[in-house]
Structure 1
Amino acid sequence: MRLCALLATLAGALLAVPGPVGWRLPSHSPRFERPGDVVLGGSFCILRFYNAVSLDFTALPAGPASSRVSSWGYLVAQSFVFAVEEINRSTHLLPNLTLGFSIRNSGDSVHGAMHETIAFLTGQEDPVPNYSCHRGPPRAAMVGDTRSALSVAMARLLGLYKFPQVSYASSLPTLSDKTQFPSFLRTRPSDLTASYAMTQLVLHLGWSWVGIITQDDFGQQAGNIASQELGQAGVCIDFHLHVPYHQSPEKIDTIARKMEKSTARGVLVFLTNSIIQLIIQRLVGIRVLGQVWVSETLLHTVIALATPGASWVLQGAFGLKLHSSHAHGLSEFFAHLHPSRTPEDMFLRRFWEATFGCRWPHGNYTAPSDMQLCSGNETLRDHKYPFQEVSRLEAAYPAVYSIAHALQDMVLCEHENSECGDPVHFQPWQLLQPLRKVSFQTPDGTHIMFDANGDLVTKFDVLQGQWSPEGQFYFVHIGNMYPHPSLENRMMILLKDSIQVPSSVCSTSCEPGSSQIPQQGAPHCCFECRPCPEGQFADQRGAQACGIICLQCPDEQYSSQSKDHCLPRTETFLAFDEPLGLVLTVVSLALASLACLILGVFLWFQKTPVVRANNRALSYVLLVSLSLCALSPLLFLGRPSTTTCLLRQITFAVVFTVAVSCVLAKTLTVVLAFKATRPGQRVRICLGPFASSSVVLAASLVQIILCGVWLGTSPPFPHKDTASEPGHLVLQCHEGSGIAFSCVLGYLGLLAIGTFSVAFLARGLPDTFNETKFLTFSMLLFCSVWTAFLPLYFSARGKATVAVEVFCILASTAGLLGGIFFPKCYLILLKPERNTPLSLRHEPWAQRDLGKGDPPSHRHSTISARPPSQQQDPGSQFLVPVLTTW
């Protein structure tokens, strides 16, 4: 007994330690109790404690006094009673068990919550920790409290005994830590879950430019988490303001001014009632309108509507409301409340007085003149409670049901690895396992279950502030948010289609086909729009962490005119059936036919002096090579293939080299023939029967070697050109090695220049036995064409490149063919009288040579007097046989 007395003394001393305005708890606190087979405890803030007297330690500290009644706290306590009575009437839930309860007043005070919790555990008015004088029915669990600060204190104490605690309103994230609070559960989610739901709503609305306002430790924690989540999703934070615990008008004004300057329309709010009202007051004063608030506690926002002008600030605001049970019959239960029906309810009279503004007469109490006495005829049936649509008056209802289902599961051993308990004799810790695993539906169909942290898994109702047609401002239900495991911890959001969703962006989204260029020194949500360049496109597939960027179209596609998608390219090449290809084909065949025709003429008239004097063998080779030159453009037309790509440039280079080398051999033969005018000269050795063939073979062999090296190292191949013609895929041959191609063309160019130089120097030799003038003219055409070819070829794009090369081939072929052979064909076909040996002797050059050294007056008579065999000088006698035999 002495030990008990000592413990009681120590407990009283501990509980009497003063706070900032120190006070002691009353010895006998009001409560509302009913007996039962199992008793549930409930801690509610019904009567708020206060003490206006500061301590000077000159007298014993006075006890606390209770001030106003919390109507919300009392009605939530009545939802607790309603749930117990409904369960006791049930025939399928604990049918053989009657639940009792003990409702206690925490006074919205940590001291009060601790006192009532220990009193409930010990069964004593002056409780002694860890000592119980209770011998009645078992205590099953404790429901409460409202504020997280109270629940934390209770949870630390109840956790020592593993005594189940189910809170109906506390939302502090720390309470989810089961290492600190192993026996704590709650029928509402954590505030972090609510803040996470806010971020999901922001993302669903498509906002990318928002502000955040926080207060106290929780608000700052929730705001930081929201900022982190939004940042990872690409949302930019324009401002992140924190309201200090000891706020001042200057600080509130600073926050309001920053909000005024912000361009973000969406604002996430993590504030309490009082701070919300202060900020709204200031925003109304400086007329900051148009911002859309998102609050995770709708009740705070609704209460703030009492501020004049608040509806204009909160227009369009979004609020989250925990989707709670709709306890059918609860309103009727509230309507039947009356002190005469439940005299054991010590709180009802105070609630009655606060509700109707009257006083119950008792003793010698005389009511003030302006205060009426309560008659008992008042009724709660038509009474409207403030903010009833968002105040969750049924908050304790699911908490009681979860305990009842846990009791039934414990009795029926519904869960594996759990001990079956005697419903009358069990330890409270035995109830924890089934309580954590409950999964049921309340009578209204609301599903109740807890996650691994003991937090309620539930959905949120989304409400929005709107004006009614009658001009009233109210919050209307516009949708729901559901936790959805298949969405990777994201929430499924369903909103009505008719709602007006405001926009909150720093920069308006770019039109399709434009990329986002971030502004210097600004977040990535602030950007400029720039059209995509040719060949690129921009759509939602180009969305990156830094915004929409332009993507390159595949090689086989090109960007549309709007640059928002890619279109397939049309394959194009210089085909035979298109007009240009058809013209080039006709010209090519015509030139080849003409060369063959001339060859036939030369073969037919091969015995005539003109054919014999033009070196028949070289003429035949030259005509064959020119016919092949005329046909080589056919390899450039049509769809390129590996074979045509390998043959076209090689064939062109080789046959043109043969043609030019034939011209060079013919020119050298004429020059050397006129140099070898005296018998015994060494130059005559170069006029042997194989001299011209050696020139052609040697010159052609060099080109063949170059082409062989080209084919062996980097041969041409088919290539798809996407850059030359927009919208087209040009099929062409790639040279493979630009150096090899340049060497082949360079050698051909050097050979042509050398031939032209020799022909130009020999242009003054006699005209009948050589064609140096015509060779000079034809090579001049050849060099001019290919000189113009180079800049045109390298500046052309697409199939125009092929057309330029084909045109140059045909033009140079026509130049050689016409410049060399047309004059001879003219003599053979149209002037046959000049194609005889006798006419050759009367050519002007013969007259000039035969009259060397004679006076001009005697030249004609001298030639006429001598026989033809005696009129030629020794050089002429040698020259004619030489040229005519080749």
Structure 2
Amino acid sequence: MWGYHVAQSFVFAIEEINRDTQLLPNLTLGFSIWNSGDSVHGALHETMDFLTGQEEPVPNYMCQPRSPRAALVGDTRSAVSVPIARLLGLYKFPQVSHSSSLASLSDKTQFPSFLRTLASDFTSSHMVAQLVLHFRWSWVGVLAQDDDFGQQGSSLVTQELGQAGVCIEFHLHIPSQQSLGKTDTIIYTMESCTATVILVFLSNSNFQLILQGLLVHHHILGKVWVSQDTLHIAIALSMPGVSQVLRGSFSLLQHSTQVPGFPEFLAQLHPTHTPEDMFIERFWEETFRCMWPHKIQGLEKNSKAAETVQFCSGNESLRDQNYPFQELSKVDIGYMAVYSIAHALKELLACENEDGVCTDPQHFLPWQLLHSLREVHFKTPDGKETMFDANGDIVTEFDILCGQKTEDDLFHFVRIGTIDPQSSLENRMIVRLRKENLQVPRSVCSRSCAPGSSQIPRQGFPHCCFKCSPCPDGEFADQGDMRRCLLCPKEQYSNPARDRCLPRIETFLAFDEPLGLTLALVALMLAALAVLVLGVFLKHWDTPVVRANNRALSYTLLISLTLCALCPLLFLGRPTTATCFLRQTTFAIVFTVAVSSVLAKTLTVVLAFRVIRPGDRVRVCLRPGTSTSVVLVASLMQVMVCGVWLGTPPPFPDRDTASEPHHIILQCQEGSETAFFCMLGYLGLLAGGTFSVSFLARDLPDAFNETKFLTFSMLLFCSVWVAFLPLYHSARGKFTVAVEIFSILASTAGLLGSIFIPKCYITLLKPQQNVPAWLRRGGQAHQERQSNELSKRPLHTTKAHKPTHTEDIRAP
């Protein structure tokens, strides 16, 4: 029935062209319809008969003059069109097919005279792949027939989808010759597959065979069938109950409109109107399920067979005859093929060729018409624009159809969009959907990874199967299904959701924050206390306590401690080049002055009480200016170390983005680490030596018990800086600076409190002890203890001289 409808569209187009006074005036097209029997042998025989005009054709021979043969339209199946195209290609005789879609027919080397008014399997397969990519199906299965149609179409799709990153779960080949055993094996294989979308490259019969098997296995439902041809899905829907399997299927249909006047032409068909039509009686019988009386002459009128037969009366009408899925069956596809030939003839006979000679319509060669046919570009009466590409394939859009059920439980196809092969964006054809909120089933091996996570491949599975892993700190994924997380820019960090980066906050120990303000106030208070003590010493400069503690060294030590207390102010605030230059070097130099002053005071006491004998040469160490030289030499060495440090890569402002993920730490980079550690090492060595010397003087007389305070102060100093090292290396960000400031303030307070606060206490609150008699009393008590100790020693032991007056150890 379908083939007869197509043949009638062929007839309708020719009659319409012959009535048109503009297209081919003074020229009438004739036609003949040949039956190939759907076989290669029959097709070749009928083709030779058409070319030679003889029932027993002789190649390259015509027995009598006749009207020229312009072109051949057909055949339907590609397997039959291929041998016809090879034969006609030898003569450059135009052939226009309306149904043969085999991709290899686009090869103009093998088939130079073949054209078609439908898209090739290559184009259709490309459209299917574009549909899969548009709907983001990444996990699909393929059912392909084991012939040229199935193998070429499926291989093109799988190759394109593979390049686009789509995974094929299975690619099953179904034999062209129907086999129930192999079909059952394929169905059992599909049971264990998880792909929702199945791409179909099957013939009508094999597709129906697969559907019958699926109806038996009711648990294989919910699949989305995608086909490049809508017709065989429409035919399959004639099977009872198959709509539940095909619900939600997608297919492609070459964009076309209904040929105006053709339905009325079909409705007027009747055997009495065209008695020369040898096929119409059979068509009538198939349509109305009846039989013409003259075909059952062999049956007796009263037999049971005759009683069951319904006879055709001729009064039946095709006007009200409806066909299922008539809009999809494409019964008018012969219409465009005829019009393309007619317009090629118009161009050939238009006398507009290069030499200006008009072509005789009764005498032209096939290759002349073939040339015009390749260049044809026109619009049919229904408004459809028609042209062929370089391969002889028609250029057309595709409609996307989706199978749906209505509220009345009726299955129908709905046009949901179009695909235009001529329009593309970034190597993707543009798919236009009429419904933006269309609910499309998903077909993925693994669920999509949300933004903020990346795909981790599963071992032993295709790359479409993966696990989702959250992005680590400092990385982000702003889209779903990202293969890997992206690094945030250096000065940004990833938000908690890991789907975007936020700008990092600059951080440093500022004056206006609570910690910085507290440290600054403590530093100022400590500096003020040191200045206050210095004022007390200056006011009571001539008292025994001040004189006994070496006034010059005390003044130097108090001034250096004041500067030590003010050093933390250089560590607070936004680091600059100037503050980075000054903070560590200033700290190193003023602390060296302070520690060397303590060392000079301790050496003076130790040498006065333990080393000095009458006439001893070491007495020169107590000359005026010796203690000052100790301070100057020790401080000068530290100045030299700092100078070398500043001469090498000096300290500079730096932006630390590695310590804290959410902040940029503004800090001073120390530059040369070797010079930095030499500075600290020298200061540590000086402090350790001072502590060792003060420890030796811990047992001096009570009147001169400053040595005990010196020992205690250096013990505090060393303890603070020993504890500083692990805290400094474990702290992060601005707390590193806070630890160093705290260590500076603690060690400064330790020196100031241990050495000077007791003296201030005596000077201000115990003035009765700040007299020479009190000091002499302490000296006499010390002499008595020493005498007792010496009386217990052997007679050869020599008694060391002990000073009895404060002036003996006082710096002049």
| TM-score over 0.5 for the pair | yes
Residues 387-786 of structure 1 correspond to what in structure 2 (within 5 A)?
387-412=325-350, 421-495=359-433, 496-497=435-436, 499-540=438-479, 547-769=482-704, 771-786=706-721
What's the CA shift for 1:796? 1.3
What's the CA shift for 1:365? 4.3
What's the CA shift for 1:364? 9.9
What's the CA shift for 1:516? 2.0
Q: Give the secondary-structure state (helix, strand or coil) at the position aligned to 2:38.
A: coil
How far, CA to CA, are the matches of 2:139 and 2:672 in structure 1? 55
Residue type at the aligned position of 2:742: F
Residue type at the aligned position of 2:466: F
8 Å contact 2:255–2:397 — kept in the other structure?
A: yes
Residue type at the aligned position of 1:131: Y
The equivalent of 1:298 in structure 2 is: 230
- 1:275 paired to 2:206: yes
Bigger shift: 356-365 or 665-674? 356-365
What's the CA shift for 1:637? 0.8
8 Å contact 2:505–2:663 — kept in the other structure?
A: yes
Q: Give the secondary-structure state (helix, strand or coil) at the position aligned to 2:70.
A: strand
8 Å contact 2:702–2:778 — kept in the other structure?
A: no
How far, CA to CA, are the matches of 2:745 and 2:695 in structure 1? 23
How far, CA to CA, are the matches of 1:686 and 1:73 in structure 2? 129
How far, CA to CA, are the matches of 2:351 and 2:443 in structure 1? 54
The equivalent of 2:779 in structure 1 is: 845
Query: Using a 3 Å threshold, how does the CA distance of structure 1 residues 556 and 151 change in structure 2: closer, same or farther?
Result: same
What's the CA shift for 1:609? 3.1
How far, CA to CA, are the matches of 2:354 and 2:340 in structure 1? 18
The equivalent of 2:132 in structure 1 is: 202
How far, CA to CA, are the matches of 1:609 and 1:796 in structure 2? 47
Question: What do residues 464-492 of structure 1 show as CA deviations (whole Å, max 9, x unaligned)?
Answer: 22221111222222222211444255322
How far, CA to CA, are the matches of 1:844 and 1:418 in structure 2? 142
Aligned residues: 795
Question: What do residues 95-122 of structure 1 show as CA deviations (whole Å, max 9, x unaligned)?
Answer: 3432222222222111222122222222
What's the CA shift for 1:838? 4.3
**813, 818, 823: which one aligns with 2:753:** 818
Q: CA RMSD in A?
A: 2.7
TM-score, normalised via structure 2 length: 0.92
What's the CA shift for 1:167? 0.7
The equivalent of 1:884 in structure 2 is: 810
How far, CA to CA, are the matches of 2:407 and 2:182 in structure 1? 38
Residue type at the aligned position of 2:313: S
Query: Using a 3 Å threshold, how does the CA distance of structure 1 residues 499 and 415 change in structure 2: closer, same or farther?
Result: farther
Residue type at the aligned position of 2:256: S
What's the CA shift for 1:362? 5.5
How far, CA to CA, are the matches of 2:628 and 2:487 in structure 1? 57
Q: Give the secondary-structure state (helix, strand or coil) at the position aligned to 1:101.
A: coil
Q: Give the secondary-structure state (helix, strand or coil) at the position aligned to 1:448.
A: strand
**78, 90, 101: which one aligns with 1:148:** 78
Question: What do residues 236-284 of structure 1 show as CA deviations (whole Å, max 9, x unaligned)?
Answer: 2111111133453221111111111111111111111111111111111
What's the CA shift for 1:392? 0.6
Q: Give the secondary-structure state (helix, strand or coil) at the position aligned to 1:825.
A: helix
The equivalent of 1:326 in structure 2 is: 258
Residue type at the aligned position of 1:460: F
Query: Using a 3 Å threshold, how does the CA distance of structure 1 residues 417 and 300 change in structure 2: closer, same or farther?
Result: farther
What's the CA shift for 1:707? 3.1
How far, CA to CA, are the matches of 2:646 and 2:353 in structure 1? 82
How far, CA to CA, are the matches of 1:880 and 1:419 in structure 2? 141
The equivalent of 1:234 in structure 2 is: 165
How far, CA to CA, are the matches of 2:132 and 2:171 in structure 1? 16
8 Å contact 2:609–2:803 — kept in the other structure?
A: no
Identity %: 66
**29, 32, 35: which one aligns with 1:105:** 35
- 1:376 paired to 2:302: no
**243, 258, 276: which one aligns with 1:311:** 243
Bigger shift: 189-198 or 493-502? 493-502
What's the CA shift for 1:293? 0.9
Bigger shift: 385-394 or 796-805? 385-394
- 1:345 paired to 2:277: yes
What's the CA shift for 1:174? 0.5
8 Å contact 1:769–1:883 — kept in the other structure?
A: no
TM-score, normalised via structure 1 length: 0.85
How far, CA to CA, are the matches of 2:249 and 2:640 in structure 1? 84
Question: What do residues 348-395 of structure 1 show as CA deviations (whole Å, max 9, x unaligned)?
Answer: 233223323444466994566144544332221112234422211011
What's the CA shift for 1:438? 2.1
Residue type at the aligned position of 2:131: L
How far, CA to CA, are the matches of 1:522 and 1:86 in structure 2? 60
How far, CA to CA, are the matches of 1:629 and 1:393 in structure 2? 102
What's the CA shift for 1:159? 0.8
**752, 765, 768: which one aligns with 1:830:** 765
How far, CA to CA, are the matches of 2:202 and 2:352 in structure 1? 43
The equivalent of 2:156 in structure 1 is: 225
How far, CA to CA, are the matches of 1:755 and 1:407 in structure 2? 117
Residue type at the aligned position of 2:663: H
8 Å contact 1:325–1:397 — kept in the other structure?
A: no
How far, CA to CA, are the matches of 2:789 and 2:267 in structure 1? 156
Query: Using a 3 Å threshold, how does the CA distance of structure 1 residues 415 and 623 change in structure 2: closer, same or farther?
Result: farther
The equivalent of 2:302 in structure 1 is: none
8 Å contact 2:424–2:430 — kept in the other structure?
A: no
What's the CA shift for 1:196? 1.5
Query: Using a 3 Å threshold, how does the CA distance of structure 1 residues 345 and 488 change in structure 2: closer, same or farther?
Result: farther
Query: Using a 3 Å threshold, how does the CA distance of structure 1 residues 592 and 411 change in structure 2: closer, same or farther?
Result: farther
The equivalent of 1:45 in structure 2 is: none
The equivalent of 1:139 in structure 2 is: 69
Query: Using a 3 Å threshold, how does the CA distance of structure 1 residues 113 and 324 change in structure 2: closer, same or farther?
Result: farther
How far, CA to CA, are the matches of 2:296 and 2:153 in structure 1? 54
Gaps of 5+ in 1: 1-70, 857-871
Q: Give the secondary-structure state (helix, strand or coil) at the position aligned to 1:140.
A: coil
How far, CA to CA, are the matches of 1:670 and 1:717 in structure 2? 43
Query: Using a 3 Å threshold, how does the CA distance of structure 1 residues 626 and 855 change in structure 2: closer, same or farther?
Result: closer
What's the CA shift for 1:746? 2.9
How far, CA to CA, are the matches of 2:249 and 2:58 in structure 1? 50
**168, 176, 184: which one aligns with 1:253:** 184
What's the CA shift for 1:664? 1.3
Question: What do residues 190-212 of structure 1 show as CA deviations (whole Å, max 9, x unaligned)?
Answer: 11211111111111112111111
Residue type at the aligned position of 1:444: D
What's the CA shift for 1:583? 1.0
The equivalent of 1:72 in structure 2 is: 2
Query: Using a 3 Å threshold, how does the CA distance of structure 1 residues 622 and 424 change in structure 2: closer, same or farther?
Result: farther
Query: Using a 3 Å threshold, how does the CA distance of structure 1 residues 599 and 498 change in structure 2: closer, same or farther?
Result: closer
The equivalent of 2:108 in structure 1 is: 178
Q: Give the secondary-structure state (helix, strand or coil) at the position aligned to 1:764.
A: coil
Residue type at the aligned position of 1:320: L
How far, CA to CA, are the matches of 2:90 and 2:789 in structure 1? 149
